Structure formats: structure tokens, C-alpha cells
Homo-oligomer: A and B are copies of this chain.
């Protein structure tokens, strides 16, 4: 009977339901912001759709560890807020100077640079408020660890550090080590933190936290390799952001360093390794295993 349930796991339905619950929670998370212009700018980017991969990873890791969706949701929302902040700031003229994001004008194109910078700041602070004050079910010691994970993943030792090295590497020859440094920090750190935070809230023991960490590192790098591949192979229309941008900016990417075929093989290999670590948890790991496949199979 267990085997039957396992083969019947409907990932599309799972993903759709998880996304819907995340969208609802995101919408509710920004009710009382003032003033209006700031609130609008925050909502514009936070509710602009997207895969919601990080919050869903957080919820799935929490469930694998034995926790509930409800307990992890404020943290899942906080993580998407941090991710959104990083997108708003990365898109600014002083950084990547991007006009399109998720098929719509970027935040600063609509609200101006000042409001875009401040909306990012407000989302970042709001994220910590959510974890600290809106997670009544979770023990305080656990929430402090979660806040620690999120702050480390977001700052100099995480995505901000990755973004700086990325900006400094534009137009330069970059080796594979530096490329992986950029990706492990810029994308990998927050993806990892999503999984670890979910595990912590679910009450994961050290063994599971270690397996989740290996899993997260693997899918984090694979995710970025696929992003690089899609930048070469997909159109702006499908991506919802400016395609070919890495080439134009003369950024080093996996396809450029390894070639398209070898890049895809590396992504597949990373995902296989990521999944192996979760094997001991069998059926309970099904959503996380399917999410890993989804990451390498996606076309945007």
C-alpha cells in the first residue's frame, strides 16, 4: 500500500497546492504597510508570481522533519521577502540595470529608484519581524537559529557577498572556483537556508539537518547552472526577464566555461547526489526529491 501511495504522488498537484498556500500567505503578510506608495511597491514585487521555490522547499523540509505547514509558513514567507528584496536591489541601475522581471517592468521602473531601494529594505526587515513575532507555535530557541540562518544567508557571507563578487567579475576571465563561489553565495545560500530553516522548524535531528544541507547545496548549484543554460537557450518571452543578458554583460557562465552539454550533465549529477542523501527518509522525502527533479527539468 505504501508503494502504491508513492507511485501515486502527483507532483503537479502538490506544487500547485503549495504555491497557492504560499501566495495566500504572501498576500496576507503585507496588510498594514504604510505609507501607501511603499506598500504598493512592496506588494508589486512580492506578489509578482514566480516559482516560489524557496518557500515551498522550506515547507517541504519542515514536513519531512515532522512539522506542520502552519508552523513553517511565516518563515517561508520571510524567505520569499528576502529573495524579493535581493531581486529588487539587483535590478537597480547601479547593479544589473534590468528593465524586466517576471514579465513586468522592474520595481524601480514603476516606482522610481528611491522607493525601490526602500521597498527592498522594508521587505528585508519585515522578514525578520515575521520570524521573530509571527511564529507563535515554534520554540524561541529554534526561531533564533532560523533568524541566524536567514541573516547569514542574506548578508556578506551569503547573497550580498555573491552579488559583489558577481559584479566585480563582469568583463573579467573567471575560473570555475570563482563561478561556484558566486553561485553558492548568490543563489545557493538562501536556497540552503530555506531547506535548513524548514528542517529546524520541523524539529530535524543533526543527521537529517546534515542530509538537508547536502541536498540544498546540490540543488542550489544545479539551479544556477540551469539558470545559466536557460539564459543561452530560452527566449525573453519564456523567461519573463531579459534573455542573453549574461552574454551581453560578458558574464562568465557554466555554458561558457564547460559547454552546454557538460553543464547539463553537471546539473544532473548534482541533483542525483542531492537526492541520494535523502534516501534514508524514503517516502517522506518524496516532495523534496520531486522538487530536485523539477529544478533541473524546468524551462524558465
| CB atoms of B156 and A39 under 8 A apart | yes
| CB atoms of A35 and B161 under 8 A apart | yes
- The stretch of A46-54, A137-145, A202-210 in contact with B is A137-145
Task: Tell me the number of copies of this protein.
Answer: 2
* 25 examples of A-B residue contacts, CB within 8 angstroms: A32-B157, A35-B165, A38-B156, A85-B121, A92-B113, A114-B167, A118-B160, A120-B121, A121-B121, A121-B155, A121-B160, A124-B124, A125-B150, A125-B152, A126-B151, A128-B147, A128-B150, A129-B151, A131-B147, A132-B145, A132-B148, A133-B144, A133-B148, A140-B141, A140-B143
Q: Quote the shortest CB–CB distance from A90 to chain B (angstroms).
A: 9
Give chain A's interface residues, CB within 8 Å of chain B: 32-35, 37-39, 42, 85, 89, 92, 94-95, 112-115, 117-118, 120-122, 124-129, 131-133, 139-141, 143-145, 147-148, 150-152, 154-158, 160-161, 163-165, 167-168
| CB atoms of A125 and B126 under 8 A apart | no
| CB atoms of B155 and A125 under 8 A apart | yes
| CB atoms of A148 and B129 under 8 A apart | yes
| CB atoms of A144 and B155 under 8 A apart | no
Report which of B118, B140, B151 forms a contact with A125, defined as CB distance below 8 A.
Answer: B151
By a CB distance below 8 angstroms, the chain B residues around A33 are 156-157, 161
By a CB distance below 8 angstroms, the chain B residues around A125 are 124, 150-152, 154-156, 158, 160
Report which of B35, B118, B120, B164 forms a contact with A115, defined as CB distance below 8 A.
Answer: B164
Tell whether A156 pairs with B122 under 8 Å between CB atoms, given A35-B164, A133-B144, A164-B38. yes
